[in-house]
Amino acid sequence: MPEDFQVLGISRRNYTDTQFRDFIFEKSLKKLGNKFDKNIISNFLKKLIYIKGYFNEDSTYNRINECLLSKTSGLNFCDNKLYYLAVPPKFYMDIFKNLAKSGLTLSCSPESGWTRILVEKPFGRDISTAAKLDQMLGKLFMEKQIFRIDHYLAKDTIRNILFFRFSNIIFEPIWNNNYIEKIEIKLLEDLDIGTRGSFYDNIGALRDVGQNHILQMLALIAMENPKEHSAEKIREGRVKVLKSLMPINKPEDIEKNIIRGQYDGYKDNKDVESTSKTETYFNVKAYIANKRWKDVPFYLESGKALDSKKTEIVIYFRNTINCLCHQDHKDSVHQNILSIKIFPKEGIFIRFWAKKPGLYSDLEPRDLEFEYKTIENKSTDAYEKVLLDCMRGDQTLFTSTEEVKLAWKYITPILKNWSSTKLHIYEKNSSPGAFPSNNQ
């Protein structure tokens, strides 16, 4: 961080600056242990200022203004300003409107500092609410000022997808429907919704992680070579994939291609409707209508309260070659599998077949594994990368307006038909294998 910066925390709580600093220390800096010198930590904490306020009140924005102009803050209205909306999306409209009204989004001149806005997903509830929000945001900011976070894009292993695919000659030639049978993208979680009832019951799994994290992983796995490492080209590549997703909009197609579930006990959570039909699990069989991916199913699966937390992308190659194995094993499946592991391991795993040592010609599966590092030793968090890139003005890891629109375009017809789609009630700690199959 540069010498001159301030962080203004704004919320409803009654904190003094000191209490706010203690809170930040306890919640986040303490766990860094001895990674940083004590002086660095204490100098950082001095940069934190707290403003109590409600998002719908003018006085909150006046206080931000006063703070920016006060001598003690050392800030200037014309400094670079980054507004990070780490708030439930229902407050977005109010905040956008009030920021605009207060003049806090104005630049002093084209040269004197930038203003950027960082928003969390879900951006809208469906295609029409997202469009409304976008319209509002578009009036206040230019696209280059808007940073829509999808923290999955900033994970090292996910960023590695493009490097891995396009820096190694051995994978790209077989990255298509001639060689790939199916792809699974899984974001499975053992935790239930905990205390997030009021947020989650309004949203459900498909909006929470499907519309964003899972579709973004799909876009990176399926996109064409962007040819250059620039935000523009990479976003363009992701857009093309999202555009080619085959819509699932007829109730009978939804029934056939999508499994939807809710864990038993979900409705007992605080702030969850007792008659709630919100899904905590989904498995969507998706297809991409282009030459490379014609007829290759992508299984997009996510759930809460399952038996373990696991995030991975598994690519199953076709079993087309005539193996040189013993006559008795001619018919058995010798499938190659490539798995991009995101959690708990971070790395890449390849399954291949090799001759068993010994006198006979039997084959056995063997694995090649590359692991970044264990999660415990992880040096950076996806959010560190997200914040840093926003300050640098690099939009590669942020979703564009177009991507958000296309993701909603795919998801909205499914959501519209949710109420008539069967909801499977599953036991907590179920394994994903316990769900009905959409693998026909």
Provide the annotated active-site residues: 213
- Which one among 185, 209, 218, 406 touches ligand BG6, defined by CB under 6 A? 209
**Of 302 and 417, which CB lies nearer to ligand BG6 in the complex structure?**
302
Q: Which helix (H) or strand (E) holds 83?
A: strand 81-85
Per CB under 6 A, contacts with ligand BG6 among 306-345 are: 311, 343
| DSSP-assigned states of every residue in 188-214 | E-SS--TT-HHHHHTTHHIIIIIIIII
Least separation in angstroms between CB 99 and ligand BG6: 24
Q: Please state, in angstroms and rounded to a whole number, the distance separating the CA atoms of residues 75 and 69.
A: 6
Least separation in angstroms between CB 43 and ligand BG6: 30
Q: Note whether 279 binds ligand BG6 by CB under 6 A.
A: no
Least separation in angstroms between CB 361 and ligand BG6: 43
Q: Please state, in angstroms and rounded to a whole number, the distance separating the CA atoms of residues 273 and 269.
A: 9
Q: Note whether 390 binds ligand BG6 by CB under 6 A.
A: no
- Sheet-wide strand order for 337-343: 363-371, 347-355, 337-343, 310-317, 180-188, 298-303, 281-286, 258-263, 424-426
Q: Note whether 8 binds ligand BG6 by CB under 6 A.
A: no
**Of 79 and 192, which CB lies nearer to ligand BG6 in the complex structure?**
192
Q: Note whether 301 binds ligand BG6 by CB under 6 A.
A: no
**How many C-beta neighbours within 10 Å does residue 144 have?**
11
**How many C-beta neighbours within 10 Å does residue 348 have?**
18
**Of 151 and 292, which CB lies nearer to ligand BG6 in the complex structure?**
151
**Of 297 and 303, which CB lies nearer to ligand BG6 in the complex structure?**
303
Least separation in angstroms between CB 189 and ligand BG6: 6
Per CB under 6 A, contacts with ligand BG6 among 185-204 are: 189
- Which one among 130, 146, 148, 208 touches ligand BG6, defined by CB under 6 A? 208
Q: What is the dihedral of CA 11, 15, 19, 24, to 10 degrees?
A: -10
**Of 216 and 395, which CB lies nearer to ligand BG6 in the complex structure?**
216
**Of 8 and 313, which CB lies nearer to ligand BG6 in the complex structure?**
313
Lookup: tokens for 376: 């415990």
Q: Which residue has the tokens 């206040």?
A: 140
Q: Note whether 127 binds ligand BG6 by CB under 6 A.
A: no
Q: Note whether 216 binds ligand BG6 by CB under 6 A.
A: no
Q: Please state, in angstroms and rounded to a whole number, the distance separating the CA atoms of residues 413 and 409.
A: 7
Least separation in angstroms between CB 309 and ligand BG6: 8
**Of 77 and 343, which CB lies nearer to ligand BG6 in the complex structure?**
343
Least separation in angstroms between CB 375 and ligand BG6: 10
Q: Please state, in angstroms and rounded to a whole number, the distance separating the CA atoms of residues 191 and 183.
A: 25
Q: Note whether 98 binds ligand BG6 by CB under 6 A.
A: no
Least separation in angstroms between CB 187 and ligand BG6: 6
Q: Which residue has the tokens 């199959």?
A: 437
Give me the amino acid identity at 401.
T
Q: What is the dihedral of CA 377, 381, 384, 387, to 10 degrees?
A: 170
Q: Note whether 118 binds ligand BG6 by CB under 6 A.
A: no
Pairing of strands 337-343, 424-426: unpaired
Q: How far is CA 5 from CA 26, 36, 73, 80, 184, in A?
A: 21, 19, 9, 9, 44
Which residue's beta carbon is nearest to the bound ligand BG6?
208
Least separation in angstroms between CB 11 and ligand BG6: 19
Q: Please state, in angstroms and rounded to a whole number, the distance separating the CA atoms of residues 144 and 325.
A: 57
Number of amino acids touching ligand BG6 (CB under 6 A): 5
Q: What is the dihedral of CA 118, 219, 159, 181, to 10 degrees?
A: 160
**Of 74 and 265, which CB lies nearer to ligand BG6 in the complex structure?**
265
Taking residues 140 to 179 in sequence order and writing x for each that binds ligand BG6 by CB under 6 A, - otherwise, the string is ----------------------------------------
Q: How far is CA 170 from CA 73, 164, 185, 245, 315, in A?
A: 55, 10, 22, 27, 15
Residues at the site binding ligand BG6, with contacts judged by CB under 6 A: 189, 208-209, 311, 343
